[in-house]
Amino acid sequence: MDITVLLYLLVALSVLWGSTETRARRIDRRAARLERKVDLLLAQLGVQDVDPAHGRVAALVRQGKKIQAIKLYRELTDADLVEAKNAVERMEV
């Protein structure tokens, strides 16, 4: 009887975990779409999103310190590694 209760609990927790993960992924995708739209709007209007700390990252990129630039970008923006790497590589151009 105790094993049955534990199994039901395990199944319930796995379903709850799965639905939470799905919801989080959906929110992440929606946030990414909104960020792309805002970026397009800013580009269309000719507005540059200037962050004072952005200059420090750009300076590291100009000095050829790409890894340090990625680390700093991640610290400043809470971006993940891939997002920070892409942002720094866009600055290289």
- The confidence band for 51, taking pLDDT boundaries of 50, 70 and 90, is low
Assess contact for 57 and 23: CB atoms under 8 A.
no
Its sign, for the CA torsion 71, 73, 75, 77, is negative
Its sign, for the CA torsion 62, 65, 68, 73, is positive
Question: Is the model's pTM score more than 0.75?
Answer: no
Contacts (Cβ under 8 Å, ≥6 apart) of 56: 72
Average pLDDT over residues 38-61: 83
- What digits encode the pLDDT tens for the residues 66-89? 999 999 999 988 899 999 999 899
> Any idea where the domains of the chain sit in the sequence?
1-48, 50-93
